[in-house]
Amino acid sequence: MYFRNKNILLGVTGGVAAYKSAEVIRLFKKQGADVRVIMTESAKEFITPLTLQAVSGNEIHDSLLDTKAESAMGHIELAKWADIILIAPCTAETIAKITHGRADSLMGAVLLASNADIFIAPAMNMNMWLDDSTQNNYKTLLKRGITFIGPAEGEQACGDIGPGRMEEPDKIINLISSSFNSGPLANKTITVTAGPTREQLDPVRFISNNSSGKMGYSIAEAAIEAGAIVNLISGPVALNANSKINLIKVNSANEMQESVMDCMKTSDIFIGCAAVSDFKSSDISDTKIKKEDISKIDIQLEKNEDILANVASKYKSAYVVGFAAETSDVVNNAKKKLISKNLDMIVSNDVSDKAIGFDADENEVNIITKNESIFLKRDKKIRIAREILNFMSLKIN
């Protein structure tokens, strides 16, 4: 209930993404908020006032000059009532109007009169977003302390691909709660490992695996949304991390272990997502091994340290979560690892299924603790990450 007793004023403007505003309202209410809605006339072309009235449980506000409304909840009352104002979706036109302080609509007048924190989730064609006028307006509003959430990149209603999509409702809600330091992981420091490790044989050859790092980066992103301070210790991957994440890049399992142990001195939670190489070469050649010098190579491998097990045994007060990539008897094998490594929770997935294994964008997992096993059906990795962290936050708070 991160918005318990909070008054949220949602402004809905005319864009295809207006259909998502019902979900935004539902999620705010689920977290304890009272939600009132202002709609522009063009918003009503995309979603009906009746729908948003039914979901919010309050009458829709749409008119600046309405004697009935002014006597009950007029624009000044609305402005004072709101703790948070979110405009989602927010069109280029509305962004321009806000920039110029126009008060010829209920939305414009309320924004001028309110001291609430203002969030904008833009939604428009990518060229409209990237146009100089919109970009200048955006920078002006940032300077005034308005927070922008998105736009997200991706395929747009018009078929273009680029920045302009409204962010997903669950991400909007999480980012607003984290900005009030009220997310489920507020005041927690979390260290996450991601990606593969590389175990060098010589300066140009190494042993590694197919891990893309997507699950670990999604966990780190979701932890930022949930208000945590995040260290992400990553093996070599082709992914960008959110700028709020403290990203530490490593190569080998030894380097990963060193960084993890350092970060754990100030962390409350460890999540081991990395596909750490179980073995490393006993002998790393300083120079490139030349094929004409030898007819075969005998590579002697020795075990790497188990980072996850070491964290669990050294940092007993930390909440320690492992991942188990299995190909058979997934839940039972994962449970064995939970017990043998002395973990608080393990997340298992079946890497024999290509759609959810290494490098896939989706995952399907079981969250396993000593007493529970919960199945999360196939979904985007970022959504799975949010569910894992929500579940975990209930255990630690």
- State the first-to-last Cα distance of the chain, in angstroms, to the nearest integer: 13
In angstroms, what is the minimal distance from the CB of 257 to ligand CTP?
A: 8
Q: Which of residues 216-255 bind ligand CTP (CB under 6 A)?
A: 253
- In 3D space, the residue among 244, 108, 99 whose CA is nearest the CA of residue 179 turns out to be 244
- Does 149 contact ligand CTP by CB under 6 A? no
Among 151, 183, 196, 322, interactor with ligand CTP by CB under 6 A: 322
CA distances from 336 to 250, 312, 347, 370, 388 (A): 29, 15, 12, 10, 20
Q: Does 276 bind ligand CTP (CB under 6 A)?
A: yes
Stretch that binds ligand CTP, among 27-35, 74-82, 95-103, 269-277 (CB under 6 A): 269-277
Distance, CA of 1 to chain centre: 19
CB-nearer residue toward ligand CTP: 219 or 276: 276
**Strand pairing class (206-207; 199-200):** antiparallel
User: What's at 348, amino acid-wise?
Assistant: S
Among 66, 202, 258, 278, indicate the residue that binds ligand CTP (CB under 6 A): 278
Write down the least CB distance from residue 310 to ligand CTP, Å.
Answer: 8
Q: 119 with 146: CB under 8 angstroms?
A: yes
Helix (H) / strand (E) element for 207: namely strand 206-207
Decide if 158 is catalytic: yes
By CB under 6 A, residue 320 contacts ligand CTP: no
Is 145 strand, coil or helix? coil
Beta bridge partners of 147: 119
- When binding is defined by CB under 6 A, the residue of 325, 330, 367, 388 that contacts ligand CTP is 325
**Of the ranges 1-9, 72-80, 182-190, 270-278, which one interacts with ligand CTP (CB under 6 A)?**
270-278
Q: Compute CA 318 distance to the chain's CA centroid, rounded to the nearest angstrom.
A: 22
Least distance in Å: CB of 322 to ligand CTP? 4
Neighbours of 13 (CB within 10 A): 29
By CB under 6 A, name the one of 9, 308, 385, 389 that touches ligand CTP: 308
Rounded alpha-carbon distances, angstroms, from residue 277 to 83, 209, 298, 336: 49, 8, 19, 20
Q: Which of 212, 272, 349, 384 is close enough to bind ligand CTP by CB under 6 A?
A: 272
301 φ, ψ to 5°? -110, 145
Stretch that binds ligand CTP, among 69-77, 94-102, 319-327, 385-393 (CB under 6 A): 319-327
Integer Cα distance of 41 and 178 in angstroms: 32
39 in contact with ligand CTP (CB under 6 A) = no
Residue range at the interface with ligand CTP (CB under 6 A); choices 23-31, 117-125, 146-154, 318-326: 318-326
In the three-class reduction of DSSP (H, G, I as helix; E, B as strand; rest coil), residue 181 is classed as coil
Minimum CB distance to ligand CTP smaller for 322 or for 357: 322
Residues tagged active-site: 158
| Interaction site with ligand CTP (CB under 6 A) | 193, 253, 272, 274, 276, 278, 304, 306-308, 322-325, 337
